[in-house]
Amino acid sequence: MNGKSIPKDVLEKAEKLRKEIEYHNYRYYVLADPVISDQEYDRLVHELIQLEKKYPSLVTPNSPTQRVGGTVIQQFKSVRHSKAMLSLDNTYSESQIRDFDRKVKKTLGIHSVKFVSELKIDGVSVALRYEKGILKVGISRGDGTRGDDITENIKTVRSIPLRLKERIDVEVRGEVFMPVGEFKRINKERQENGEVPFANPRNATAGTLRQLDPKIVSKRRLDSFLYHVVDASEYGLSNQWETLQWLKSIGFKVNPHSKLCESIDEAIEHWKHWSENRKNLNYWVDGTVVKVNDFHYQKLLGETSKSPRWAISFKFPSEQGTTQIVDITVQVGRTGVLTPVAELKPTEIDGTLVKRASLHNYDYISQKDIKIGDWVFVEKAGGIIPQVISVIKDKRNGTEKTISPPSKCPVCGGKVGKLHSEEVALRCLNPHCPAKLKRAIETFVSRGALDIRGMGSKFINRMVDAGIVSDIADIFHLDPFTLLSLGSGIGNKTVSNLLKEIEKAKDTPLSRLIAGLGIPLVGEKTAKILAEKFKNLLSLAEADFDTLQKIEGIGPEIARNVVEYFSNPKTQEVIGKLKKAGVRLFETENSAKQGNLSGLRFAVSGVLKSMSRNQAKELIESLGGVVTSSVSRNTDYLLVGKKPGSKLSKAQELGVKIISEEDFMKMIKKEDQQKSLF
């Protein structure tokens, strides 16, 4: 449908919904003062989404529904800044701040000057350009002269308005940052996956904004504070304090802890206060920024090629300490990753006693040349996670001991290794290791596997901690009395509903059952290939390495993992328990999807008009077709949209039939089948 065919009342309804959602976004993300419940907010967003689905031309770049782009960015474009984004001189010294004050007064020839002291957010500087109040471009700092166009990623930051309260052209600058909770959550995930945690929130934010997929950025829940207006005098602004109030009035989130200071003494007191109280904030700050308030004075003071003469960064004391490594212990994470931990001589860092520090993985130990007995620098990453930064080699006396990777899992004694050649972390390769049980059950009951609703992570933790399950198959042998024994919050109705879900899960399709087993490197897509090939879990369990690796989409690493998984005696025990419980281990005759695409293999490239690539994939599979991630001689059709990638040239080279979106729709024919996805 085009814009002309949209009824007037629909246009008005869409605009009303957008304004309501924008208002509630502002209340929630900027003012932290919501006036409706999450459920009411979700209802408004859902209503707008449904309208935009029915009338696609209603969708605008500044619609609240477009906070997360549907397509992955191919690469970032370089954009020149309208004016250079300068860095700041910095100091940790009160005496140097007073020198700064004296120099400002001497240059201006005055006896007193007002400052604005702002918290220095540990994040990433960005520039945002608006045209007639609509966000057009978001730019990273880059080298200060040019930055990357990160507009799609900026749109995912909920506190940054897509549309201002005034229809003006303006460029503003500020900081995008990662809140405390998100930093902890992401670093915990990275450690569980054997990845080195982000060293600090700035690195975490920078790494997030460099993601090519805006959906990943959206999941990390970045936030923002704005503090600068380019050519502020054009908007009737004469000083920094006025600017902060104006930014807030047109819809931006401004840090509430900035202070207008009558003298440098007040700026120093502001710094002292937040040096002691920064841990109470839900974001990291590493100092304050002291700025001359008056713009006329700023202009007179000018700037060097690198930094302004009217502002300085007043940093907080370092959160580093020195201590000695007395031993190394190994933690086994929920995914089996082995994390070496340095046991330290207790040392105080930033007011807390530190006894242990992560060494991340054994490659990290090798790169840093860390040994037991070494004296080391320890830093609290983001003020939270202690980690060894470097070795003080001058203190070595020859008694230090080399740290060797373990050959066996310290929990179960199982084999230790890497899932694939590119992996950094060592992990326990025993799929039934007790340390991995909670994660294994979460995978088994997840939506992409057996989809047992009501069995969330907290419930799983209680079951495992109570010892009522020792493997994934035990779920199917639970009874009401055992579940009720878990105690408070678990009543008859909860137990009844859960047992119904467990019973229903016994008839889960084979592909989802395979996906739920937690075989390393076997996700939903690979599980579908294996289910289609073997039709029965027992047949898959007997497959050898050569048979598996000959299957398209199953490489040697996956084949090796499958063979090792099913050769494990504990796996055979689990399969026996599943069979005894009545879980279907085979594909039924009519379980394979039939449709007018049955037996055809597709690949998809480019941006489609009427659906996303994921929707196209689901539609093809719902009609019996198969979608592969790459083009080969076995591919029947390559479906192409706008801006196709390398798959197109590969298809042309191999003589694979290339079809447009219109051709694809003609193949489907039946209109009701097309609509079933939506």
Checking if the pLDDT of 185 tops 80, the result is yes
The proportion of the chain whose per-residue pLDDT surpasses 70, expressed as a percent, equals: 92
Checking if the pLDDT of 545 tops 90, the result is yes
Q: Looking at per-residue confidence, does 75 or 445 come out higher?
A: 445
Say which of 4, 13, 54, 120 is annotated catalytic.
120
The 8-class DSSP code of residue 199 comes to S
Checking if the pLDDT of 146 tops 70, the result is yes
Phi and psi for 335 in degrees, rounded to 5?
Answer: -100, 5
Q: Residue 238, Cβ neighbours under 10 Å: how many?
A: 13
Among 88-92, 133-137, 266-270, 407-411, whose mean pLDDT is lowest? 88-92
- Within 533-669, strands assigned E span 601-605, 626-627, 637-640, 657-659
Boundaries of every domain in the chain = 3-66, 90-315, 320-402, 431-592, 601-676
Confidence of residue 126 (pLDDT cuts 50, 70, 90): very high
Residues 18-44 have a mean pLDDT of 73
Active site residue 493: no
Q: In the CATH scheme, what architecture does the domain 601-676 have?
A: 3-Layer(aba) Sandwich (3.40)
Q: Report the SS3 class of residue 189.
A: helix
Buried b (16+ CB within 10 A) or exposed e, 393-430: eeeeeeebeebeeeeebebbebebeebeeebebbbbbb
Residues comprising the chain, all counted:
678
Which among 465, 37, 426, 385 has a CA at the least distance from the CA of 195?
426
Residues 432-444 have a mean pLDDT of 91
The confidence score (pLDDT) of residue 70 equals: 47
The confidence score (pLDDT) of residue 351 equals: 67
The 8-class DSSP code of residue 495 comes to H
Residues 415-441 have a mean pLDDT of 86
Confidence of residue 595 (pLDDT cuts 50, 70, 90): low
Residues 107-121 have a mean pLDDT of 96
CATH number of 90-315: 3.30.470.30
Residues 120-141 have a mean pLDDT of 94
Q: Looking at per-residue confidence, does 317 or 3 come out higher?
A: 317
Residues 543-556 have a mean pLDDT of 91
Checking if the pLDDT of 8 tops 90, the result is no
Checking if the pLDDT of 2 tops 50, the result is no
The 8-class DSSP code of residue 552 comes to T
The confidence score (pLDDT) of residue 674 equals: 41
Rg, the chain, Cα only: 29
For residue 547, give both structure tokens: 């048979």
The confidence score (pLDDT) of residue 26 equals: 77
The confidence score (pLDDT) of residue 299 equals: 95
Q: Looking at per-residue confidence, does 652 or 263 come out higher?
A: 263
Which fold is adopted by the domain 431-592?
A: DNA polymerase; domain 1 (1.10.150)
The confidence score (pLDDT) of residue 662 equals: 87
Cα distance between residue 177 and residue 221, in whole Å: 9
Q: Residue 229, Cβ neighbours under 10 Å: how many?
A: 23
Q: Which CATH number fits domain 320-402: 3.40.50.2300, 3.30.390.30, 2.40.50.140, 3.55.40.20?
A: 2.40.50.140
The confidence score (pLDDT) of residue 676 equals: 41
What would the pLDDT profile of 510-535 be if each residue is shown by its tens digit? 999 999 999 988 988 899 999 989 98
The confidence score (pLDDT) of residue 68 equals: 57
Q: Looking at per-residue confidence, does 490 or 161 come out higher?
A: 161
The model carries a pTM of 0.57
Owner of token pair 């609240």: 64
Checking if the pLDDT of 469 tops 50, the result is yes
The confidence score (pLDDT) of residue 594 equals: 53
Among 209-213, 258-262, 449-453, whose mean pLDDT is lowest? 209-213
The confidence score (pLDDT) of residue 342 equals: 94
Regarding the domain with residue range 3-66, which homologous superfamily does it belong to in the CATH classification? Helix hairpin bin (1.10.287.610)
Q: Which of 291-295, 336-340, 457-461 has the highest mean pLDDT?
A: 291-295
Q: Looking at per-residue confidence, does 442 or 47 come out higher?
A: 442
Helical ranges in 346-431 per DSSP H: 362-368
Neighbour-count burial of 609, counting CB atoms closer than 10 A to its CB (0-12 exposed, 13-18 middle, 19+ buried):
exposed
Average pLDDT of the chain is 86
What would the pLDDT profile of 346-391 be if each residue is shown by its tens digit? 988 766 788 998 888 898 899 999 999 999 988 875 556 788 888 9
Cα distance between residue 564 and residue 545, in whole Å: 9
Confidence of residue 318 (pLDDT cuts 50, 70, 90): low
The confidence score (pLDDT) of residue 633 equals: 74
Confidence of residue 671 (pLDDT cuts 50, 70, 90): very low
